[in-house]
Amino acid sequence: MKSKDKVTIYDISKKLNISAATVSRALNNNPKISEKTRELVVKTAREMNYKQNRLAQALKQGRTNNVGVIVPYINRSFFSSVIRGIEEELTPHGYHIIIGQSHEEVEIEAEQLNALLNTQIDGIFMSVSKTTQKTDHIKKVLEEQTPLVFFDRKIDIPSVSSVVLDDYKAGYIATEHLIKEGCSRIAHLSGDINLEIYRNRFEGYKKALKDYEIDFNPEYVIQVNSKIESGMQAIDDLWKLEEKPDAIFSAGDYAALGAMQELRARKIKIPQEVCVVGFSNEPFTKYMELPITSMDQTPLMMGKIAAQVFLEQVKETNAYTVEKKVVLPPELIIRDSSNRKLLKLSDVS
């Protein structure tokens, strides 16, 4: 036999003078095969450089032990942490993860889904792009009877599970904190409100203003993207108003960082003159010279719980029809950028 030829179970059976069926059972740890025979077959297979056809074996078993994860961007701390949580929870169960990025484009998102379905994937975890409006490509996953779990960003589709943050409550808590710090002219740097998460944060912001009898000013709401430059531009726009804000609640940390940079460039004191709150608790927020108050989205926990939801689903007979909704509580991490009370205590001491 030439070394370039692919070794089969028939080659192993011929060398050991046993049946191909026995070789197959031994390689698949069949309890009917003695430990002595199994060890001999495995040793011989290794010596002959035998490679099992994993795909054929998976299709025979009805599973591949592969799951897909689709995120807008993998280079964001939040999404990478969610992926880590999914991986940590599923690896002990023998699953492997295939990652795809939509780059916030629904067409790429659809391509990624099709590619995963073509690999006979066991399940899909997904955070939808901001351009996702139609759901035909997502419904195809259900037609293929593949378990699907949304995390962070979702679309309400029957029979699809989701694990999300309570963004409405988070928006409320962030705004309430600023009010309790003495702020009354609170601007909101909003994300794209076509996405449910940003819409909910905006609605939570408005509700807090209403509950504390502060008039809602639409001029204080500026839509930004998740970039430093966008936050800087927002401050430039807000400071053209006759009545300037005394607080900024940003729907993302990068825009909050840009806002702070522009405020400090204008010699505006933070938090004495303007308090700033971000969202996501990105790693950089706590290491800055002036640490940023931010809403923690607990991404690692979100990933772990999403994986647990998937594992619960695959135990069911019709896993793709099981619907579980998990809403995680938000936690505001208060730091120097909004903590006027801490400044007052420092003055007293």
Q: What is the pLDDT of residue 218?
A: 97
pLDDT digits (tens, 9 = 90+) for 81-139: 999 999 999 999 999 999 999 999 999 999 999 999 988 899 999 999 999 988 889 98
**Cβ atoms of 60 and 69 closer than 8 Å:** no
Q: What is the pLDDT of residue 1?
A: 42
| Confidence check: pLDDT of 28 > 80 | no
Q: What is the pLDDT of residue 62?
A: 56
Distant-in-sequence, close-in-space partners of 261: CB < 8 Å, separation ≥ 6: 228, 231, 232
Question: Residues in the chain, how many?
Answer: 349
**Cβ atoms of 234 and 261 closer than 8 Å:** no
* CA 228 – CA 232 distance, rounded (Å): 6
| Confidence check: pLDDT of 61 > 60 | no
pLDDT digits (tens, 9 = 90+) for 288-304: 999 999 999 999 999 99
Place of tokens 């955070």: 127
Q: What is the pLDDT of residue 133?
A: 85
Q: What is the pLDDT of residue 106?
A: 93
How much of the chain exceeds pLDDT 70, in percent? 91
**Cβ atoms of 254 and 187 closer than 8 Å:** no
Q: What is the pLDDT of residue 144?
A: 86
**Cβ atoms of 47 and 79 closer than 8 Å:** no
Here the tokens at position 198 are 């940003």
| Confidence check: pLDDT of 348 > 70 | no
| Confidence check: pLDDT of 57 > 60 | no
* Section 213-235 average pLDDT: 97
State the chain's mean pLDDT as an integer: 90
pLDDT digits (tens, 9 = 90+) for 153-190: 999 888 899 999 999 999 999 999 999 999 999 999 99
DSSP 8-state class, residue 220:
G
**Helix (H) / strand (E) containing 293:** strand 293-296
Neighbour tally for 265: CB within 10 Å: 10
**Cβ atoms of 322 and 160 closer than 8 Å:** no
Helix 35-47 vs helix 20-27: crossing angle, to nearest 10:
90
| Confidence check: pLDDT of 2 > 90 | no
133 CB burial (10 A radius; 0-12, 13-18, 19+): exposed
The pTM of this model reads 0.81
| Confidence check: pLDDT of 248 > 50 | yes
* Section 258-281 average pLDDT: 97
Which band of pLDDT confidence, cut at 50, 70 and 90, is reported for residue 3?
very low
**Cβ atoms of 48 and 12 closer than 8 Å:** yes
| Confidence check: pLDDT of 347 > 80 | no
Helix 228-238 vs helix 253-265: crossing angle, to nearest 10:
50
Q: What is the pLDDT of residue 78?
A: 95
- The domains of the chain, with CATH numbers, are 9-52 (1.10.260.40), 66-166+298-328 (3.40.50.2300), 167-296+333-348 (3.40.50.2300)
